[in-house]
Amino acid sequence: MIYYFGIDNIICKTNGTEYENSSPYEDRIEIINKLFDDGNTICYNSDREQKTGESQTMLLYKQLKDWKCKYTSIKLDMLHYDYLIDNNTYTGNNFFETK
């Protein structure tokens, strides 16, 4: 299976655009790492650069490394939509509550 996960307030607590102060949700990262270890494709998706207008790439890669996140790829711009309606979608909390 292919999983896409947001970063801020999905795998870490982030206040506004204070990305350097983000703190990981270790329990969620553990669930995602298990999915990766089980052979699933894990993609992280972040719109940090669109929100700040500045490069967030180095900080994001460092945080994922420091938090020991396993992943297949990172996409640094968000999908653009007003609503995503699909039978395969979850909200962050609903996804992690089922694991």
Task: Give me the CATH number covering residue 72.
Answer: 3.40.50.1000
If one counts the domains in the chain, the total is: 1
pLDDT of residue 85: 47
Range of the domain at 88: 2-97
Q: What are phi and psi of 49, to 5 degrees?
A: -70, -35
Give the span between the Cα atoms of 66 and 24, in whole angstroms.
10
Q: Is 74 helix (H, G, I), strand (E, B) or coil?
A: strand
Q: Is 99 helix (H, G, I), strand (E, B) or coil?
A: coil
Residue pLDDT, tens place only, 60-97: 999 999 999 999 999 887 665 655 545 556 666 677 77
CA of residue 28 relative to chain centroid, distance: 10
In the Cβ-directed half-sphere of 26, how many Cα atoms lie within 13 Å? 2
